[in-house]
Amino acid sequence: MASALLELTGVSKSFGGVQALRDVDFTLLAGEIHGLAGENGAGKSTLMKIIAGAHGADEGQMKINGQPVRFRSSRDALAAGIGMVHQELSVAPELSVAENVFLGAQPVNRLGIVAWRDMARAAAEQLKNLGLDIDPRARLGDFPIGVQQLVELSRVLFSGARIIILDEPTSALSPPEIERLFSVLSKVKASGRSIVFISHFLDDILKISDEITIFRNGRKVATTPVTAAIDKAWIIERMIGLGREELEESYLGEIRLDSRPEAPVVLATKGLTLAPAYREVSFEARAGEVLGVYGFMGCGQLELARTLFGRLRADHGVMEIAGRPMTLANTTAGKRAGIAYVAESRRAMLFSEEPVFKNVSIAILERLSRWLLKPDRERVIAQAQVKSLDIRPPHIEARLGGLSGGNQQKVALAKWLTHPPRILLLAEPTRGMDVGAKEDVVKIVRALRDQGIAVIVFSTEPETVLSLADRVLVMRKGEIAHEFASEAISKDRLLAAA
Amino acid sequence: MDTQGANASPPARTFRLGDFLRDQLRNIAPFITLLFLVIFFSLASPSFATLDNLENILQQVSVTAIIAVGLTFVILTAEIDLSVAAVANATAIVLTFFTLQPDYVNIANLPMAGPIAIILTLFACCGLGLITAFGVTRIGIPSFIMTLAMMQIGAGISAVLVRGQIAYSVPSLILTLGSKSIGGVPWIIIVAAIFLLVAHLVLTYTRFGRYVYMVGGNREAAEYSGVNVRFIVGAVMVISAMCSGVAGMLGVAYFGSAQQNEFDTFLLDAIAAVVVGGTSLFGGRGGIGNTIVGLFVLGVLNNGLDYVKIDSFLKILIRGVILLIALIVNIYAERLRTARTAGKGA
């Protein structure tokens, strides 16, 4: 039996009243790969940030090789041999491969000058050990993302890390790249180091991990060695919980999707591609239907949404609105084509220094007049929207930045509703909202759908998609992987498809 | 239903002096500065606070005012135009190029009738503005760098056309507007006042003006609201070039001659007027009202320093210090606001 390299006992952490971790024990053995699974917000990232020194725990103890440790920063953690590779790589694409391997720790000669030749040689050797035979003097940005990731991994290894935390390492990788990553990880493991592997991709976790820990709502619900009896369904069951303590219990059961294949197609895409975000996306959205697009973070859905509004330009592929091919030069063209877009971040949608009424009217000013503003009309319209969406406080002159998140989200919706669009694109419409505000948004979206608007909801949260959609597309790594229409759907089936 | 919303409402209703002052810092500070300067110079010199001198001050800031009008649009969208003085200079010299010069002036000359010369000159400076707009919005060169290049191009046009000489003649219309008076009021003051008034009306009462503020306030949100951000940014660059061009043409008449580097001090003066007045360098806040106060601060300072015994070389340093203080206040005003937003917002 291998010895425990890292041991955490009774760790708890809360952020402003929200309990992110409750009394969690976690043990990492020397020379093992330990997979972590759990939904967004289940606590796995918080735990890893505590281990990597980015957060301090409220309670609990951490031991490395039996010695109690306490980190004040990620520098402390790195000094103790803990390194992390984030989903968003922190490489310098303009620098050479070798410089990236040695970033922040370039070898220097006696005069304090960087020893370029030594550096290149050491980097090449280091990378070869990982099975990567590339020119260390080449610009890193010219290599595919999988190579960049391995270079970052080798930097963490080279800095002397014995424990390596990988956050969503496979989300941007193609199958052969995943194979290569896994063979590298096996080599790292064989050298006696330990790896924590966090991922939404359960097949990947099952394939590479020796042991799996599953989180739910800030608690550790299971730790088990990976055996033949452990499969994807087993993990999903524990991730979403069979008990009834969860808030959104209704989504644990089956939901009947009610798509409307007879309704007219308002928006259609054929082979839409924007490398590297998404590829060959073809789908149809119908009038009076809410189409959900679900996928993990980074699966390309947000880029797709922005392309549909004219904010990004696709490399190739066709987009048709009401049967007519359209190329949107900018968001103004998108708006003119009858498309409305509510971005995933309220900061990107709203003018926090301006009063509510100006935020409501900004998207429809050209409909009110050609040249001169009509502030009275703006106020009347804003007042009507504030009333119908129950925005609080109901003052149209109030500075938007003073409103709560849920009310700001309603304002972001309100600006498109005075002249309802043909197509409404909603990115993460209920992110970070309390239950009441979520229900309000669901009601508003249903009402818009019933007016005949084609609504498309883009989300990484299964609950959001399940509560709103009549039909669901699942995106995985830039491609549409599955479609659920007119059938029973449940959270576990949705997760299994992604 | 939403308790957070209910909590957020009281500050909107009750008046709090602290919050008000913090919000209005950018508007109040320039005004206090102006008041302080006027009182100081009035006490220092009895001939400062006279009606004659007020006219002096107004006349002295008129050219700066016309340039600052265009620059106000640019800074409101969170861009910058460093080419204003060079474009003014180039336009001034293009105007003299199209006007018949006296025999003893040995420069390139292509005489036209006055109105045609004026129209061609306006086209020329509009062209410079369009080039800047193209570079910033289509090619994506940051306005700071693009207008730096345009500054050099403007200086180059000036240099090539006058070749170190001085030109004197301008069309009679420009001569009148730049150097004559009507009923004792110099035309140039009236022109500057009209520019300020029209710009204020455009910014306050037109759709375009609202877009200018919104693009400056949150460019991303403007884009996601279907506002054509590129068009707005391009338009303000052209407006800025046109204002600079008019200021340059009138400047020739006002100064009585056109030569290279004649307008060099106007770049700093115009930026200073806008920023000292309290228009946010981050865009979206401020306006022509602020610019007017800024112009007065600058005008009173430049003029008043002549009334007190002070080393004329020291004046340059004093202006630099005043500008620095205004920048500090500008940044702090922004920080206080955002701190308040962060404290209360989402």
Nearest chain B Cα distance for residue A183, angstroms: 43
Paired tokens of A215? 């989180």
What domains can you pick out in chain A, each with its CATH number? Answer: 4-246 (3.40.50.300), 252-497 (3.40.50.300)
**Interchain pair A353, B2: CB under 8 A:** no
**Interchain pair B227, A362: CB under 8 A:** yes
Residue B26, in any domain of the structure: no
Residue B67, in any domain of the structure: yes
**Interchain pair B224, A352: CB under 8 A:** no
Q: CB distance from B299 to chain A under 8 Å?
A: no
**Interchain pair B226, A331: CB under 8 A:** yes
**Interchain pair B206, A373: CB under 8 A:** yes
Question: Torsion over CA of A446, A452, A458 and A461, rounded to 10 degrees?
Answer: 20
Name residue A27's beta-bridge partners. Answer: A7
- In angstroms, the CA B228 to CA B219 distance is 10
Q: What CATH number corresponds to the domain at position B284?
A: 1.10.3470
Residue B211, in any domain of the structure: yes
Nearest chain A Cα distance for residue B89, angstroms: 33
Residue A307 CA: distances (Å) to CA of A331, B4, B228, B322: 9, 34, 16, 47
Task: Classify B222 as helix, strand or coil.
Answer: helix
Amino acid at A247: L
* Tens-place pLDDT, residues B145-192: 999 999 999 999 999 998 888 998 889 999 999 999 998 899 999 999
The fraction of chain A above a pLDDT of 70, given in percent, is 97
Residue B126: CB atoms within 10 A of its CB come to 16
Nearest chain B Cα distance for residue A373, angstroms: 5
Nearest chain B Cα distance for residue A165, angstroms: 32
Paired tokens of A354? 């301006």
B208, B285, B345 ranked by CB distance to A352: nearest: B345
Amino acid at A66: G
Residue B343, in any domain of the structure: no
Nearest chain A Cα distance for residue B230, angstroms: 9
pLDDT at B341: 54
Interface of B with A in 310-339 (CB under 8 A): 337
Q: CB distance from B4 to chain A under 8 Å?
A: yes
Give the residue with greater pLDDT, B4 vs A114: A114
- Residues of chain A with confidence (pLDDT) below 70: 1-2, 242-253
- In angstroms, the CA B249 to CA B246 distance is 5
pLDDT at A244: 44
Question: Are the beta carbons of A11 and A70 closer than 8 angstroms?
Answer: no
**Interchain pair A347, B221: CB under 8 A:** yes
Dihedral of alpha carbons B77, B83, B85, B89, sign: negative
Residue B102, in any domain of the structure: yes
Question: Are the beta carbons of A226 and A206 closer than 8 angstroms?
Answer: yes
A335, A369, A399 ranked by CB distance to B207: nearest: A369
Residue B3, in any domain of the structure: no
Between chain A and chain B, how many beta carbons pairs sit less than 8 Å apart? 132
Which of chain B's residues have a Cβ under 8 Å away from the Cβ of A366? 207
Interface of B with A in 192-251 (CB under 8 A): 205-211, 213-214, 217-218, 220-228, 230-231
Q: How many CA atoms lie within 13 A of B187 on its CB side?
A: 15
Token pair 């009679």: residue: B172
Q: How many domains does chain B have?
A: 1
pLDDT at A115: 80
pLDDT tier at B233 (50, 70, 90 boundaries)?
Answer: very high
Q: CB distance from B140 to chain A under 8 Å?
A: no
Residue B13, in any domain of the structure: no
- In angstroms, the CA A132 to CA A184 distance is 9
pLDDT at A32: 94
- Domain with B86, as residue range(s), is 57-334
**Interchain pair A393, B9: CB under 8 A:** yes
Which chain A residue's Cα is nearest to B341? A401
Paired tokens of A475? 């995106």
Question: Are the beta carbons of A210 and A36 closer than 8 angstroms?
Answer: no
Which chain B residue's Cα is nearest to A400? B345
Which chain A residue's Cα is nearest to B338? A353
**Interchain pair A393, B6: CB under 8 A:** yes
Give the residue with greater pLDDT, A47 vs B19: A47
Which chain A residue's Cα is nearest to B201? A372
Which chain B residue's Cα is nearest to A375? B205
Average predicted confidence (pLDDT) for chain B = 88
Residue B41, in any domain of the structure: no
**Interchain pair A349, B223: CB under 8 A:** no
* Tens-place pLDDT, residues B40-53: 899 988 888 888 89
Does residue B29 surpass a pLDDT of 50?
yes
Task: Classify B318 as helix, strand or coil.
Answer: helix
Nearest chain B Cα distance for residue A320, angstroms: 19
Nearest chain A Cα distance for residue B341, angstroms: 6
Nearest chain B Cα distance for residue A161, angstroms: 38
Buried b (16+ CB within 10 A) or exposed e, B334-344: bebbeebbeeb
Does residue B13 surpass a pLDDT of 60?
no
